[in-house]
Amino acid sequence: MKMATRRWGVAAALLAVVVDQATKAWALAALWPPYSEGIVLLPVLNLRLGFNTGVTFGMFRESAADAVWVLVAIKLGVVALLGWWLWRTRLRAEALGLGLIIGGALGNIIDRIVQGAVTDFVDAHYAGWHWPTFNLADVAIVCGVGLLILASLRTPAARPSRTDRPGEPA
């Protein structure tokens, strides 16, 4: 049972990385030059190429640009902790959530290593206000966090107790 749960998480991580990197490759080819108008999809959604040298939402852009390898190391450490959690979980929703977060993080780590910045291209906006441009790795991370929250809301009776787990001491 535990191995099947892990497979769900690993599959989610692989899918997130592949979809993220494929869409970023498309964005780099189709949306050049960066920071132009891009493609209007909806009145509130554009595809517009940009690069994030900062941390989340471009915060600390100036100081983080010189610390690419520090950011990569920190993110790899977080991915390792999430992988450890994935390896121990018995809940499919939790495994899927962790897999999406891991895959999204790895997709952005690949960008930092290859380009020194994360490729972003989804521009949500309304009435002149723009949400920070993001990518599908970010979408995977947010969906993964949502799944973790949903998994945590399960009633305690629905979760396996330590005495219900075969092979583990009570």
Round to whole Å and give the CA distance between 117 and 149: 29
Round to whole Å and give the CA distance between 35 and 147: 33
pTM of the model: 0.84
pLDDT at residue 158, as a whole number: 54
Q: What share of the chain is helix, strand, coil (3-state, %, to 5)?
A: 65, 15, 25
The active-site residue, picked from 20, 111, 123, 138, is: 138
Indicate if 66 belongs to the active site: no
pLDDT > 70: what percent of the chain? 83
The overall average pLDDT reported for the chain is: 88
Round to whole Å and give the CA distance between 88 and 101: 16
The active-site residue, picked from 66, 120, 123, 164, is: 120
Indicate if 138 belongs to the active site: yes
Q: pLDDT tens digit string along 74-126? A: 999 999 999 999 999 999 999 999 999 999 999 999 999 999 899 999 999 99
Q: pLDDT tens digit string along 8-38? A: 999 999 999 999 999 999 999 999 988 888 8
